[in-house]
Structure 1
Amino acid sequence: MPILLLLLLATFAKAQESLKYQKPPTEILELVEAPLAPSVLIDKKGENVILLFRDPYKSIAELSEQELRLGGLRINPKTNIGSRTTYYNNIKTKKALKPSNTEVKGLPENPRLANFNWSPDQQKIAFTHTTDKGVQVWVLDIKTSSAKKLTDEIVNANMGNPLEWQKDNSGLFVTTLPADRKELINTEEAIPDGPIISVSKGEKAQNRTYQDLLSNPNDEFNFQQLALSELKLLSLEGNLKPFLPTAMYSDVSVSPDGKYVMVEKIKKPFSYLVPYYRFPSETNVYDQSGKLVNKVMDVPLQEVLPQGFMAVRTGRRSMNWRSDKPATLIYAEALDEGDPEKEVPYRDEIFELDAPFKGEGQPMFKTINRFSYVQWGTEDIAVAHDYWWNTRNTKSYVFNPSDNSQKPKVIVDRSYQDNYSDPGYFVTTKNEFNETILVINNGNSYLMGDGYSEKGQFPFVDELNLKNLKKKRLYQSSYTDKLENLYSGIDMKKGEILVRIESQNEYPNYYIRNINKKEDLKQVTAFDNPFKSMQDVHKEIITYKREDGLSLDGTLYLPVGYDKQNKEKKPMIMWAYPREYKDKNSAGQNTSNPNKFIYPYYGSPVYWVTQGYVVLDNAAFPIVGEGEEEPNDSFRKQLVDNAKAAIDAVDALGYIDREKVAVGGHSYGAFMVANLLSHSDLFAAGIARSGAYNRTLTPFGFQSEERTYWDSPETYYNMSPFMHADKMKTPLLLIHGVADNNSGTYPLQSERYFNALKGLGATARLVMLPKESHGYSAKESILHMLWEQHEWLEKYVKNKEANTANENPK
């Protein structure tokens, strides 16, 4: 046996005893440590650009700061902001068509910046800075590229957006810490004064397995104290003025004309079954002096809803300001009592309510499916959208908001999973209220689409007349060696739009394109490729067919320096995520683009092209159930058929040793991995991160399965890898964040599954990452995760024969 392999095996054996954070091989480490390009904010005129810089990862020390998990929130009680907030540490400004950037003057030391919010005139941006003591308000002046502090650490950013601009640009509404906040209870030291009791009164409360819920009276007390705020007005000179007294404010929004403020606040009783956004709430409208105009919504506790993904509560919901009117509210009400099982011609009705917001609203229109949102245009043109999960159907309607006697006209009626028929999204602009409305020129609106088709992806701009519904194509990207994403319209009369262009080795950059002038392209950003070691990696989209004839695809990468002529057979890692469909046509569509930039983010398997592996990423794993059949009725068979088709396709190209193929996935992809290893012999090893393996622990539905365990116990049993742990004969690496916050993927899922595998003699390894959530963010965790995956692949895939001989000597 080679000395290197003996050392590797010895290292892995020792790792079971005591192990500090490890690092992957140098080639992978260099890619992980590559600098992150900034996030880009561009104003509505396409003139000013804001560049936001941050570190790619947090540190384990940051994740180790105090955290309270209450009512579905994760809060740092010392700083009063979400404990998992992503912070930026630098800002630069630039003119869109000028190459140079300008450093922002006056930023705080050791910046931890978040909650960026444009002023209505887009001359300033408000943001928060988090110190060791708490959250401050700052403002950036775009013209002078300078920042200044407006407050000390007075902000309560625990719930909702803490900053909301006044319409006249003079200041902001800010949720501040109340003067009378009580000291929090240390729940670890508190002595209970009684048992914890929950009661069922005979009503069905079929809720999903939410994380971070309240669990006792001490949690209730702490949640309330952390949620309480005073709402104040903050001037740009830093002066504070009381607006509303202490309450649990969860949302603040100003009317388009700036005369009214709509405020939502959470109320008691709290719940141990659902997150805070299903607690009782009350929504009121106030004038600019803080005087109550009217209560517009009073929502009870929502523990009990009808069964099904499309279930909603009764009464007013989805209340928002109508963006094309000075002060008009719109809201939806269910016509089926919120019960998707009831057969009705229309599911929802939409109403508008003018100031002073009293009484019942004026009916506007009804939707066939569940209401989603409205895009407002002119006095007589608006577009509404709905959807229905069970059929994957979506409809769009054009209607006259000034005349409800005119029946809305359906202009889109399609499966939202059918990418080839996607007409695109409507181009919007800002009106005189700085609110978003449709761009309409001479009765014509505009649609920007991704442009997926059987021939490839060619994004487009269409002109659509909303009166006669005639459509005209104005522009279609013609790139065959690049990918051009269309982002927004800057000036549709002039034909100016914002686009982002990239290729396999060309980092994505922003441009202003004039679609009326051929080849008119002006560069806005010029970010360099930080992953140059991968720029010559071979990448292609391969297409192949499943046993039943369904078309599939995946993104294939060959190892660095691979000789395609000699075709040495290499080990392969395949990464995938199952997706459910209600029709084969949508399931078989190809939405992968070979020209997309090769971006090795932390969860990607692409790193292993540097280690001599073929990588098949985003392998299509559709699970189809047409008509009365549900996708999960044949979940396991379709999984195995998908996997076999993928391996057969790459094997037929001559690149791989099919005895050395690994499969990996995260979350539902991890669930897929465990099932594949239990019910097929296609793989040499598997990697499953942050998954769920026992579906009886999520009895009221999971992923896209809305049947309960008691509706279809055989489905829950057949799909649960835990129930088939005795069939596991393939080495499986399990990784899970100790603080996973995702619904259903409790850390217990991996722990119990590993215990079952270990008890039954399977080869498995469980790695629990301290402080990590469903996605991982600390650099130490990510580097160690990559090391674990690398060691597993080297041992059980690349060196499979040597390892098998070592573990099973004759």
Structure 2
Amino acid sequence: MRRSVLSLCLLAGLAAHAQDNVTYQRPPAVLEELLLAKPTPSVSVSRGGEWMILTERNSYEPVEELAQPELRIAGLRLNPRNFGPSRQAYGAGLQLKNIRTGEVFSISGMPAEPRISSLSWNSNGQRAAFLHSENDRIDLYVIDIAGRAARKINTAPVNAAMGAAYTWAGNDTLLYKTVPAGIGALPVQPAAPQGPVVQESKGRAAASRTYQDLIKSPYDETLFAYITTSQLVLNNLQTEQKIGTPAIYASMSVSPDKQYLLLRRIEKPFSYLVPAYGFPSTTLVTDLNGGEKKVLAKTPSSEGAPIGFDDVMDVPRGFSWKDDEAHTITYIKALDGGLGRKKAPFRDGLYAIDAVAAGEPKELFRTQRRFRRVIWGSTKELALVYESMFADRRERISTFNSVTGRLDSLFEKSSNDAYSDIGTPFTVYNQYNERVLFVRKNGELLLNSDGASPEGDMPFVQSYNLKTRKGTVLWRCQAPYYERVIEALDPEKLIMLTLRESVTDVPNYYIRDLRKRSATGTPITDFANPYKAMEGVSKQKISYKRADGLNLTGNLYLPKGYDAKKDGPLPVFIWAYPREYKSAADAAQVRGSRYTFTRVGYGGPLFWVTQGYAILDNAEMPIVGEGNKEPNDNFIPQLYLNAHAAIQALAKMGVGDSTRVAVGGHSYGAFMTANLLAHTKLFKAGIARSGAYNRTLTPFGFQAEERTYWQAPEVYYNMSPFSFADKIKTPLLLIHGEMDNNSGTFPIQSERLYNAIKGHGGTVRFVQLPFESHGYTARENLLHMLWEQTQWLNTYVRDAK
């Protein structure tokens, strides 16, 4: 039986640790105001840019929502009452806005208490669909834009337990999954098992990551099949047609000519070692009546698949429709046995096969690195092919001519090199209403780039000549604004939808004619600042060097009205997340923009700028391993260099007191925090949330570490703060979600580190948040977390002696 919510309100006082019992607490009022500020609506724009749907977003749900029944099974988190995800953010309402006139309309026929997800336009922009979740069912609604009315179109409840629950199958047709008729009640767990659970290995290597919520018993297998089995239904907005028989569908997609379905069906036996998407499966093509046309592949379980970052299973993979043909399917096949470290002239081949006609697959091209994706063109002469490898951090874009079969390298760079990125091509709809490359009348591509540079991100749009391989910038955002193109409303005329913001201006949407370089664009939204308490807070992106000369950056926030000369240095809170690089030059690049609006999220440190702290957010913590060296071979010394440089930079500016500094982070940032406290004396306190601290519990790799524990035991030992728990004397606050589902960050990671530090006389506090996963969502938990962090910072940093 599940514990009551009341009993789970004893956060810091876990019985296993016999500490003080604590009921939910609330932080200072200004922190609560910032946390619960109503977010600005999310926006979705129709094809052609005539209409915009504004989705009202909820603030955080009460903890009772998380306390509802939940199945944690096969790597999924599901609600057994409505056959959908148990942890999901919902929209609370919709409005329709005509972008050309500015008029805003309500939508009739909406559910009484909307819980909206998965909003999707049809291709002509005349309809949109969304899911509405109730306690005991999920329904599919369609909005008629002209009539400004929504209506429920399904009879049986929608099954959204696995993969996409629905997809458009034309402008007036939807394909969706439903709960099969006569499925009955949730299977009841037997009072006693029929026998032990036995797993066996007979000499075949089967390394696996540290996945959570896996199937553990025959009863779990029954539950998984019960909740994920669905019936496919095709609906032309007038009648429903069942397609085939119920099965476990991991994915479904409709052919460009809207005549066939590409399905991946999960099969038994279910694995106890990998999540559901690694179970055995059959990939097949059916017609719209469910008649089987072709079985494309029978894929075994991913148990035993190679686990290197460049490794893949040595079976056909990545089946998808070819966007520029009626019903052709493409798929990838490894040419190196799936082993990324094996020397081979080619890694992957892309093959094509007609979905229904007889004939053998045709090889289209081969790639020297792992194939990532292809963007098909409006003609057979041009497609863009993307390939990359993790090992050398290199990526390449090539042009492919389907007529000649030529694959020619167009552009190559380090995957860590943001400055050289040429951008993402704009696309348009073809005769099948599928997105394909947009090519300008002069034969050039139109590319949308983040615009990374030494000045920070300054997005731009460029016209790219495929022959000269040079671009001409047509438009670039201008300081003091950060503005980026969201959608091309008319790419030939360069009419774009942009999102514009500044340090003081809330992000709002504009229509901009890029041909008019001096124009500011036409505003189409007017969202207000939800974070009034942050007005007057100063923000700047600072640059500094670490001792070995590597350039670093961070976002510095200072309290409203603060004057360094008059007020003196402030206590400091540094928040960071380490990242690995193969090049010092790439690691030194400036990331992000100095002109973005200050958003306050529960997971960040900005709350405490209102409490008199200097905040250094996104402090760069690069870990570099050039040439044959792996970044993690020198992890701890580089952490020290990064942290020391940040502290000294703030001290030299006169804004930070180097003797009163806290460090914090979430997940890998928590791992970083514990290591900094174990190996340095730079800080007064640390806050580590939902981290992994003993790397031997993730023995088959973690983060960017590809080697296993048995290949590099010294790396695993030396990078584990648990190994040095006796050295952690700086006060450390550990926070962890009780039901963390992230691979590797089991709650036991925090429990064991707490016990180890406590056993050696360190100052440590462990707060386990009821029902929370790797990210936190319950209002009471978040408010209490802010209270805990405030008490910790004030006690051990601000008021430290």
TM-score (norm 2): 0.96
1:434-583 aligned within 5 A: 434-442=433-441, 443-477=443-477, 479-520=478-519, 521-583=521-583
Q: Who is 2:6 aligned against?
A: none
Paired letter, 1:230: Q
Which residue number corresponds to residue 259 of structure 2?
A: 259
Letter in 2 for 1:670: A
Deviations 1:313-363 (A, max 9, x none): 122111111111111111111000101121011100111112425443111
Check conservation: 1:81, 1:135, Cα contact below 8 A: yes
Matched, 1:424 2:423: yes
Q: Deviations over 1:119-161 (max 9, x none)?
A: 2322111111111221112111122221112235521110111
- Measure how far apart 1:468 and its partner are: 4.9
TM-aligned CA deviation for residue 474 of structure 1? 1.7
- The aligned amino acid for 1:185 is P
**Does 1:44 pair with 2:51?**
no
3-state SS of the aligned residue for 1:452?
Answer: coil
Q: 2:575, 2:618 within 8 Å by CA — same for their partners in 1?
A: yes
- Structure-2 residue corresponding to 1:103: 106
1:83-482 alignment runs, 5 A limit: 83-152=86-155, 154-167=157-170, 169-181=171-183, 183-187=185-189, 190-237=191-238, 239-377=239-377, 378-404=379-405, 406=406, 408-442=407-441, 443-477=443-477, 479-482=478-481
Query: Can you list the C-alpha shifts for 1:462-491, whole angstroms capped at 9, x where unaligned?
Result: 1123355343222222x2211112223221
Pick closer, same or farther for the CA change 1:397–1:792 going to 2, 3 Å.
Answer: same
Q: Is the 8 A contact 2:385 2:399 kept in 1?
A: yes
Deviation, 1:669, is: 0.1
Q: Which SS does the other structure have where 2:306 is aligned?
A: coil
Distance in 2 (alpha carbons) for counterparts of 1:333 and 1:196: 36
Q: Partners in 1 of 2:400 and 2:173 — Cα distance? A: 36
1:571-627 alpha-carbon deviations (Å, 9 max, x no partner): 010000000001101000011322111111111101111100000000000000011
Q: Which residue of 1 aligns with 2:79?
A: 76
Is 1:307–1:339's contact at 8 Å kept on the other side of the alignment?
no
Q: For residue 798 of structure 2, what is the aligned residue in structure 1?
A: 798
Deviation at 1:184, TM superposition (A): 3.1
Which deviates more from structure 2 when the two are superposed, residues 684-693 or residues 29-38? 29-38
Deviations 1:609-667 (A, max 9, x none): 11000000000000000111100001011011100000000000111221110000000
Q: Which sits farther off after the overlay, 254-263 or 441-450? A: 441-450
Residues matched between the structures, number: 785
Q: Shift of residue 206 of structure 1? A: 1.5
Whether the aligned pair in 1 keeps the contact of 2:13 and 2:22 (CA below 8 Å) is no
Shift of 1:220: 0.7
Q: 1:718 to 1:332 in 2, by over 3 A?
A: same
1:777 maps onto 2:780 in alignment: no
Structure 2: distance between partners of 1:226 and 1:206: 28
Aligned to 1:742: 742
| Counterpart selection for 2:30 from 27, 31, 37 | 27
Q: Are the counterparts in 2 of residues 44 and 429 from structure 1 also a CA contact under 8 Å?
A: no
Output the CA distance in 2 between the equivalents of 1:609 and 1:64: 33
Once the two structures are superposed, residues 34-68 of structure 1 have per-residue CA deviations (whole angstroms, 9 ceiling, x without a partner) of 11111100112111101111212122111111100
Partner of 2:4: none
Question: Cα deviations across residues 377-404 of structure 1 (Å, max 9, x unaligned)?
Answer: 1221100001101111101100101222
**What amino acid is aligned across from residue 124 of structure 1 in structure 2?**
R
**What is the alpha-carbon distance in structure 2 between the residues aligned to residue 572 and residue 98 of structure 1?**
49
Q: Distance in 1 between matches of 2:431 and 2:792?
A: 59
What's the CA shift string for 1:679-709, capped at 9, x where partnerless? 0000000000000000000000000001000
Structure 1 stretches of 5 or more lacking a match? 1-10, 802-810
SS at match of 1:61: helix
SS in structure 1 at match of 2:199: coil
Mapped to 2, the partners of 1:568 and 1:121 lie a distance apart of 60
Task: State the shift of 1:181 in Å.
Answer: 2.5
- 1:163-195 CA-to-partner distances (Å, cap 9, x unmatched) read 12222x3321121111242543344x6311111
Q: Secondary structure at the match of 2:376?
A: strand
8 Å CA contact retained: 2:83, 2:227 = yes
Q: Distance in 2 between matches of 1:581 and 1:270?
A: 38
Structure 2 counterpart SS, 1:231: strand
1:203 to partner: Cα distance:
1.5
Partner residue, 2:5: none
Q: Which moved more, 1:468-477 or 1:79-88?
A: 468-477
Deviation at 1:251, TM superposition (A): 1.2
Who is 2:8 aligned against?
A: none
Distance 1:84 1:766 in 2: 24
Q: Is the 8 A contact 1:664 1:673 kept in 2?
A: yes
Distance across 1 between alignment mates of 2:257 and 2:624: 49
Aligned counterparts of 2:228 and 2:310: Cα–Cα separation in 1? 29
Q: Normalising to structure 1: TM-score of the pair?
A: 0.95
1:233 partner letter = L
- Structure 2 CA distance for aligned equivalents of residues 359 and 216 of structure 1: 43
In the alignment, structure 2 segments of 5+ residues that lack a partner are 1-10
For residues 134 and 758 of structure 2, the distance between their equivalents in structure 1, rounded to whole angstroms, comes to 46
1:234 maps to a residue whose letter is N
Cα distance, 1:535 vs structure 2: 2.1
Report deviation, 1:441: 2.2
2:433 and 2:731 mapped to 1: Cα distance? 57
Q: Distance in 1 between matches of 2:355 and 2:610?
A: 63
Map of 1:752 onto structure 2: 752
How big is the alpha-carbon RMSD for the aligned residues of Structure 1 and Structure 2? 1.7
Distance apart, 1:365 and its partner CA: 0.8
Alpha-carbon spacing, 1:790–1:694, altered in 2? closer, same or farther (3 Å): same
Aligned to 1:605: 605
Q: Which moved more, 1:381-390 or 1:125-134?
A: 125-134
**Identity across the alignment (%):** 45
SS at structure 2 position matched to 1:89: strand
Q: Show the counterpart of 1:702.
A: 702
Inter-CA distance 634–382: structure 2 relative to 1 (3 Å threshold): same
Task: Give SS of 1:682's match.
Answer: coil
Is the 8 Å Cα contact of residues 133 and 153 (structure 1) preserved in structure 2?
Answer: no
1:731 counterpart residue number = 731
2:56 match: 53
1:98–1:524 contact (8 Å) kept in structure 2: no
CA distance in 1, matches of 2:749, 2:358: 50
Task: State the Cα deviation string for residues 72-110 of structure 1 (Å, max 9, x = none).
Answer: 111100111010122111000101143342111121111
**Aligned partners of 2:489 and 2:497 also within 8 Å:** yes
User: C-alpha deviations, 1:766-789, integer Å up to 9, x for none?
Assistant: 000001000001111111111100
